[in-house]
Each structure stands twice: as C-alpha cells, then as structure tokens.
Amino acid sequence: MTPKLELAAITDEFSPDLAVALDAMAPIGMTACELRVVGGKNIMNLTDDEVKQAMDLLNAKGIRVLGLSSPILKCTLPEGGEVDSRFQQDMFGAAYTMDDQPRLTERAIRLCEMTGAKVVRVFSFWRTVDPEKCFAPACAALSKMAGQFKAHDIICGIENEHACNIGTAAEAARFLNAVPHSHLKLVWDPANALVSGENPFPEGYNLLPKDRIVHVHAKDCHMEGHKPVWGPVGTRHVDWKGQIAALLNDGYSGAVSLETHWPGPGGNKLQGSVICGWNLRGLLAA
C-alpha cells in the first residue's frame, strides 16, 4: 500500500496545534505538509521564533514543508465590482486588503527561506459578479509576483478557488495561457472546480496544461444548490480514482495534499482528517 505520489496535508486540517496534527499525520505515512494556521495564527502572522519552533516539531517527525498555504490575493479588488455572495469566503485567520499584499509577498519569501518551502499558494481576488473585470488585474499582479519569486527559486502557485475569480479549470487554463511565466503554475483543486459548477474530471482536467500543475489538493463533496456538502475523500462527487490515474499517466510527480474540509464524524475534525488521510493513501496506492 505504498502511495505512488507523495502524500501530504495542510496541517491545520488535522489540528491548529501543530504537535497534535503531526502526531496524526505521521502514522498515515504523510511525509510533507503545507502550513496555513499554526497555533491558531495564520502563518503570515507567525514570528520568526514561532516558525523555528514549528520547524523543530516538523524535523522531529521527518515531515518537510513543501509549500505555504498563504492568503495572498485572497482579498477584494476595489475596482472589481460587487463580490459574489454565493460563495463562502474562508479566511483562516487572515483578513487582508490590497494594501497588505506587498508585505505578505515579502513575508512569504522570508518564510520559504526559513522552512524550505518551494511553492507559495496564491489566489485571484474574491470572486465578483463580473469576474472578467478582475482578469487583467490578476494577470498583472501574479506575473509581477512570479518574477519576485523566481529570484528566490520559489513557485507562485495559483489555486483554482471557487470563492475567487479563477475557480474552474477553464478559468485556470485561460489564465495560465495569458501568463506563460516559468515560475507561475497551478495548484489544482478538483473539488473547488466542482463547487464552481464544473465537472473537474475528466472534463475540467482535460483543459489544463499538464506541465503547469505544480501541486494538487484533495477534498471531496457533493452539491446542494450552491452549497458544497463535504465528506470523506473518495466517497462523494470527485472522481479521485480517475483523477489520480490521469495524473500518473500524464507524468505528474508532485505531492497530493489533503485539505479535508469535512467536519468529521460528530464534528470531530481530527478524526475526519485521519479517515480522509487513510482514504487518500489508499487511492494513491491503488
């Protein structure tokens, strides 16, 4: 039951207490992670000393930091028009504005230096009722950011996020075609595409430039109207078996990172993430 791709997780999906999260992740065989919330604080708000303490815990478990699940450009674009209220805006302890973005970018570079992370997840502004207004500004902002990251050998990973202006594979493919930067790639999240109204696999995935996929997030849900109902990975409406087989067939060699979202049985998120972690391991080993 050896996974054919590296098995990872966003740590706070298990627990905001990093030690608790790592104790749960290690037995599943997770060898890498993304940092988003540690000790109840968004990573952007951690002090250098807190980052060093986190690294001590990670090194003790032999779990590397593959990326930062940052909130960069998860903000309102002032000229983008009215925000689309249909989609829940998950903040994860990070409510920032456009004015904060240069500082967040510099902090992300520093955090990568401290943790060894090579991918910084970024977004495309909160989704508006007219996403087209945000397309050119997102292209300009992320092209500039990719240039800053390139100088430090860091990948700018745009995630397709249903609450942001690039939510579907079709939107992601258009964006990547418009910004052919070597250090701007895609964090592919099939469940987010599903919530955006797209069938992520095979239709959505087939639209993507496969060589621009740097990382993959795994979660699962079905839709009730515009509302996603999250559940155990591999049991809802994302064809994870087919998606993983296609990734392998297309030469993807990165990690697949659990982003549970399911509240878990009886609201026990830690237990839910353990269940999802083992499910994902099984899918990656099939």
Beta strands 32-35; 64-72: pairing state: parallel
Query: In the beta sheet, which residues pair with residue 72?
Result: 122
In this predicted structure, the answer to whether residue 90 has a pLDDT above a threshold of 70 is no
Helices 48-61, 18-28: crossing angle, 10 deg rounding: 30
Residue spans of alpha helices (H) in 44-131: 48-61, 101-115
Q: In angstroms, rounded to a whole number, what is the distance separating the alpha carbons of residues 273 and 119?
A: 23
Contact 38, 6 (CB under 8 A): no
95 pLDDT band (50/70/90 cuts)? confident
Mind listing the pLDDT tens digit for each residue in 216-272? 999 999 999 989 999 999 999 999 999 999 999 999 999 999 999 999 999 999 999
Residue 86 — very low, low, confident or very high, per pLDDT cuts 50/70/90?
confident
**pLDDT greater than 70 at residue 190:** yes
What percent of the chain lies above the pLDDT cut of 70?
A: 98
Q: Residue 99: helix, strand or coil by DSSP?
A: helix
Residue 92 reports pLDDT greater than 60: no
| Cα–Cα distance, 156 to 186 (Å, whole number) | 8
Q: How far is CA 70 from CA 37, 94, 119, in A?
A: 9, 9, 10
- Report, at the CATH architecture level, how domain 6-285 is classified: Alpha-Beta Barrel (3.20)
Q: Cis check for the bond before 202: say yes or no (omega within 30 of 0).
A: yes
Give the count of beta carbons closer than 10 Å to the beta carbon of residue 1: 9
Q: Where are the domains of the chain?
A: 6-285
Tokens of 40: 């109840």
Q: 157: left (phi > 0), else alpha (psi -120 to 50), else beta? A: beta
Residue pair 252/209 in contact by the 8 Å Cβ criterion: no
Residue range 151-182, pLDDT digits in tens: 999 999 999 999 999 999 999 999 999 999 99
Q: How many CA atoms lie within 13 A of 259 on its CB side?
A: 24
pLDDT at 256: 98
